[in-house]
Structure 1
């Protein structure tokens, strides 16, 4: 892959190194572009690009009329990196945070179309749990859980879940390999209980059933 701004990337890494070494502390204001350009022997445009890169990595913040300030001492890892490094326990805890709130909101906002989607995805999950290979079963299970999140009608929760799906999928496949009794395949009743609470417009019950289902998965794993 061709790197469009190699000098800017090198300048960003040098600025990040100097921040890490304590040259600029948290909250400190960086020198101006001209000074930084001279120190790093690059052009001002390169410095501007480097600052934009570090702003995107949530290390620097440009404040109009005030300058550029240090808001973190190291770059935050991007979401994909965080998900790749997360273990199964982290994934399950993340699902609890997203899916229990989604279930609660779904109980308040679900539509007839959402209820129809629950019926379809639950039926597909039941069929897949009986004979299908693990990857087919996982897709059917995820389809039901996504139906719950979608029924919350919250764009942020839906986006969080969708970006989380590849890591959830890998975690589920790993869990199924560890679950020699196939308990995860036989928890259809727990999933139906979530859907029923949402259908009944009971947000507390929906959240509790969602939390209990994921807690049972974690308990089976440990």
Structure 2
């Protein structure tokens, strides 16, 4: 089954360090705090700190001088799309997902495999189960995974990856908009079932139309 991929602790630390460099908490030429100090600052173990430093060293942002320390050598680091998305306003995340949804659904209708269709149906059923039981977080996650499994089936790797990044931020949108309630998800289950049927029947035009309806009802 498709799952939202979680960032590692090292990736989280690398992003936090990157933010510090971009906002000049650490300037070019500055020596980073020692590993034990960084462990305290970020609340992670030594291996995560070392991996984060390795990530930024490969990017040419940090330089590790054995026996001396780790220094900031460049600010020429572009924020990843994922960092930008995580820092975006909820309305911006909603807009990105809205723009992607119909295209992803249409391509999934044309390109899905039977195995992918089975996964989509499994998440559709889980979404319904959790919505009926008012298990909010589980319902929100099942909904996200339903749409992610459609993205997996779309056949466009780049489109799928962009959609995945947007979807990682959707949970905070749901938590903010729906306040631990599943009523809107119960109401929209019929539309989701229709979307599944259009994808199953390889009806790209109607899949796109229903996907657009869904996104405007739930966001």
Q: TM-score, normalised by structure 1?
A: 0.61
- Show the 5 A alignment for 1:10-159: 10-11=27-28, 50=74, 53-54=75-76, 56-57=77-78, 77-159=79-161
Task: Answer yes or no: is 1:164 the counterpart of 2:181.
Answer: no
Task: Name the counterpart of 1:39.
Answer: none
Task: Answer yes or no: is 1:209 the counterpart of 2:205.
Answer: no
Gaps of 5+ in 1: 14-45, 58-76
Task: Name the counterpart of 1:185.
Answer: 186
Deviation of 1:149 after TM superposition, in Å, equals 0.6
Gaps of 5+ in 2: 1-12, 31-70
CA deviation map 1:166-186 (0-9, x unaligned): 31111111111187x822332
Task: Determine the C-alpha separation between the residues in 2 that align with 1:109 and 1:80.
Answer: 26
**Higher Rg:** 1
Task: Determine the C-alpha separation between the residues in 2 that align with 1:176 and 1:94.
Answer: 19
User: How much is the aligned-residue C-alpha RMSD, in angstroms?
Assistant: 3.0
Task: Tell me the SS of whatever aligns to 1:103.
Answer: helix
Counting matched residue pairs gives 158
Task: Determine the C-alpha separation between the residues in 1 that align with 2:173 and 2:123.
Answer: 20
Structure 1 runs, 4 residues or longer, greater than 4 Å off: none
